[in-house]
Amino acid sequence: MVQSPGNMTLQDAIGGRCSVRAYAPEQIDRTTLDALMAAAVRAPTAMHAEPWQFVIVQDADRLKRLSDRAKAALAADARLHPDRRHADIFAKPQFNVFYDAPSLIIICASAPGSFAEADCWLAAQNLMLCAHALGLGTCVIGSAVAALNLPDVKLELGMPVGSLAVAPIIVGHPRGATAPGARKAPQVLAWR
């Protein structure tokens, strides 16, 4: 059952959030992006480090160039996609790793640290749940991480040399409905 954004409980958001791979061209406004980042920074953080930083990309031409760089990085390193089926999809010239979403939010770790990446992933989950509660779709684009951490791409995006792109998340208004996928039951290894 799809909940309207204003009536969504936390359990509704957790149960209903799913990866969206088809977006309407409508851009996300600054107020909404600010709300998503405000939710992200409420995530737990080890030793109160708050290592997260954000890069927002909304320029369609830049998103296309970044998609092409990500596809080239994947083609150059077969270890990143050992499943041949995915490699064939990424090789198609018309394929966009960002699924033509109007916005990309890259959550970056300000510096390497024992828990910096974990903190960024916690922030990513908050951001995605907030987006879902607002009626937006999201999808983590892990296949873009290698390209986003290339020195020239970091420079183009205004990322400091020492920062690390951790969680690239596309955001937009879903084009059509996407149903949450089934999940396996929790695998409890021990209960003592």
* Interatomic CA distance for residues 110 and 27, integer angstroms: 27
CA 51, CA 192: separation in Å to the nearest integer?
A: 35
Locate all alpha helices (DSSP H) within the chain, ordered by sequence: 10-16, 30-40, 60-76, 84-91, 116-133, 145-148, 151-157
Instruction: Name the residue ranges covered by the structural domains of the chain.
Output: 25-162
Query: What's the pLDDT at 123?
Result: 98
What is the per-residue pLDDT for 78? 61
> Could you tell me how many residues make up the chain?
192
How far, CA to CA in Å, does 136 sit from each of 17, 32, 102? 10, 10, 11
Q: What is the identity of the amino acid at 192? A: R
pLDDT recorded at residue 117: 97
Structure confidence at residue 2 (pLDDT): 45
Mean pLDDT by 10 residues, the chain (192 residues): 65 94 97 98 96 98 97 76 67 92 98 92 98 97 96 97 97 94 94 95
pLDDT at site 83:
61
CA distance 26 to 28: 7
**Could you say which of 3.20.20.210, 2.30.42.10, 3.40.109.10, 2.60.40.1180 is the CATH number of the domain covering 25-162?**
3.40.109.10
